[in-house]
Amino acid sequence: MDRIRIEGGRRLSGAIPISGAKNATLPLMIASLLTDQKLTLENVPALADVALLKRILANHGVDYMVSGKRAGDAPNIGETLTLSAENIVDTTAPYELVSRMRASFWVVGPLLARMREARVSLPGGCAIGTRPVDFFLMGLEALGAKIDIEGGYVVAKAPKGLSGARVHFPHVSVGATHTIMMAATLAKGETLIENAASEPEVRNLADCLIKMGAKIDGAGTPKIRISGVDALQGTTHRVLSDRIETGTYAMAVAAAGGDVLLEHAEPGTLQAALDAITQAGAEITETNAGIRVCRNSSGLNPVDITTEPFPGFPTDLQAQFMALMTRAKGTSHIRETIFENRFMHVQELARLGADIHLDGQDATVHGVEHLKGAQVMATDLRASVSLVIAGLAAEGETEVNRVYHLDRGFERLEQKLSACGADIERLSG
Ligand code: EPZ
C-alpha cells in the first residue's frame, strides 16, 4: 500500500493548478444516462472515483472515450471524456460497485426516468456517518415511482413514466437534489424541489442539463423548478474548478507559510472558507488567474467555524481547517453539523501533537506551538489530506499511510505540492 512521506517545515511558493471538481464530475457523468446522444465533459480530473464511475456506467452499457490530450500537453490539463448511453443494456447497479462509492447510487434517478425501472444496491454506511437514502426514495415516490427494497436493493418502477410533483426535502441533501433534478427533467409536467441544495456543483449540473434541452429554473437556490421534456440531447460541458481542492491548498499555504497562486480557482464557490482563512491570518487576493494566498511568518489566529450547507463553511474542508487550527495562538471551536462521525482525523492529528477535545459534534482545538512528525493513518478522503497539511506544518518526518483515500479526490497531490517547494514524496508498497 502506498504511503506519503513529508518532511515538514518548508514554506510553499509558486503556483498550483486547480483541477476539475470531483463532486461536479460524478453527477455530470451520471447525467449521460439521460440521453441516447453523446455527452462530452471537459476538465475531468484523473481520480480513482472517476475511474470507478466509468466502470459502473459501462456496466449499464455506457461507452466512454477519453480524448483531447496530446504528447507535450501540460499534465494539469484535465481529460475530455465523451460518454454515450445510446443503449442501456442493464438497469441494475450491483452491490459490489455501489458499495465502493456512494455517489453511484444516484444512477437511480436517470435510469428510472429514461428506462422506467432501476434496481440499485443500497450504498450502506461509510466512515463519516450512516448516510441514509430516505430523501431520495421520498422524492422518487413523489414523482410517481413504486419503490420496494428487495435483498439490499432499491427496486424502483414507473411503467408509465414519472410525473412532476412538489418535493420538499426535510434537510438539504446534495445527492438527493442531483438525483431528483435529473429524474424530473424527463417527467411529465412540472416539479418543484424545495429546500434544494444550492452547492455550486448542483448549478454546474443544471447548466449542463439545460444545454441538453432540460427546462430548469433556480438551480443554485433552495427552490428549483423543472418542466419535464420528452427527450434530452447530447452536448459539451466544462466541469467547474474544485472548490474543496482550492480550499485545501489555501489552508496548506496558511499552515506552512508561503505565497502560492491557485490557478483557475473560483473564489465565489468557497467564500465562507476563504473568509475563515483570512481571519486566521493569511492574505487572500483574487486575480484574473485565480486566487493568491500568502502567509508570512506571523502566527495564526484561532477561528471558530460551523459546517453548513452552501454557502456556509463546507464539511469537506472541516478536517483541513482543524489541521490549520492545531497551530493557532489560542483556542478554536469547530462544529460539524452535516455528518455525525466526521472527526476520524482527530486521533491521528493528536499523534502529531495536536491538542483537541471532542464532545459530540463539537471539537475544541487548543493551538500548540509545534507539531512533530509521526506515522499516521488516513481514514477517509478529507481526513487524509488534513494529515498532509499537518505534516507540512510539523517539524520532522510524517508518514501518511493508506493514501488510496487521497487518490479518490486529489489529483497529483504530491507533484502539485512539491512543485511549490514541499518536501513530499509517495513511497510504493
Ligand atoms: C455530497 O455527499 C458530497 N459528495 C460529499 O462530499 C459532501 O460531504 C456532502 O455532499 C455534503 O456537502 C459528492 O458530491 C459526491 P448529502 P452526499 O446527501 O450528497 C443526510 C467528499 O469528501 N441525508 O448532502 O452524499 C446525510 O446523512 C464527499 O468529497 C439523509 O439523512 O451528502 C447527511 O447527514 C464526502 N437522507 C446530510 O443529509 C438522505 O436521503 C447531507 O448529506 C440523504 C442525505
Decide: 420 and 6 in contact? Cβ < 8 Å: no
User: Coil, strand or helix: which one is 285?
Assistant: strand
Between CA 179 and CA 175 the distance in angstroms is: 6
End-to-end alpha carbon distance in the chain? 5
pLDDT for position 124 = 65
- Establish whether domains 3-18+241-427 and 22-238 are of one fold: yes
Between CA 243 and CA 314 the distance in angstroms is: 10
How far is ligand 1, taken at its centre, from the CA of residue 147, in Å?
A: 21
pLDDT for position 328 = 97
pLDDT for position 68 = 65
How far is ligand 1, taken at its centre, from the CA of residue 197, in Å?
A: 10
Ligand 1 atom 13: residue of nearest CA: 23
pLDDT for position 403 = 87
Identity at 129, one-letter amino acid code: G
Give the closest residue to 93 by CA, choosing from 102, 85, 84: 102
Residues with CB under 6 A from ligand 1: 23, 26, 102-103, 129, 131-136, 171, 173-176, 315-316, 338-339, 381-382, 409
Instruction: Give the gyration radius of the chain's Cα atoms.
Output: 22
- Please tell me the total number of residues recorded for the chain in this structure: 429
pLDDT tens sequence for the chain (429 residues): 889 999 999 999 999 999 999 999 999 999 999 999 999 999 999 999 999 999 999 999 999 999 866 656 655 568 999 999 999 999 999 999 999 899 999 999 999 999 999 999 998 655 555 678 999 999 999 999 999 999 999 999 999 999 999 999 999 999 999 999 999 999 999 999 999 999 999 999 999 999 999 999 999 999 999 999 999 999 999 999 999 999 999 999 999 999 999 999 999 999 999 999 999 999 999 999 999 999 987 899 999 999 999 999 999 999 999 999 999 999 999 999 999 889 999 999 999 999 999 999 999 999 999 999 999 998 889 999 999 999 999 999 999 998 888 999 999 999 999 999 999 999 987
How far is ligand 1, taken at its centre, from the CA of residue 338, in Å?
A: 8
pLDDT for position 73 = 61
pLDDT for position 125 = 52
Ligand 1 atom 28: residue of nearest CA: 316
Task: Report domain extents, the chain.
Answer: 3-18+241-427, 22-238
Question: So which residues are the catalytic ones?
Answer: 126
Instruction: Tell me the three cell numbers of residue 337.
Output: 453539523
**DSSP character at residue 102:** G
Identity at 369, one-letter amino acid code: E
Pairing of strands 331-335, 362-366: antiparallel
How far is ligand 1, taken at its centre, from the CA of residue 196, in Å?
A: 13
Closest ligand 1 atom to residue 49 Cα is 15
Crossing angle (nearest 10°) for helices 271-280 and 243-256: 0
Q: What is the CATH code of the structural domain delimited by 3-18+241-427?
A: 3.65.10.10
Strand partners, 377: 401
Closest ligand 1 atom to residue 129 Cα is 27
Decide: 17 and 54 in contact? Cβ < 8 Å: no
Into which CATH architecture does domain 22-238 fall?
Alpha-beta prism (3.65)
Ligand 1 atom 7: residue of nearest CA: 316
Ligand 1 atom 20: residue of nearest CA: 131
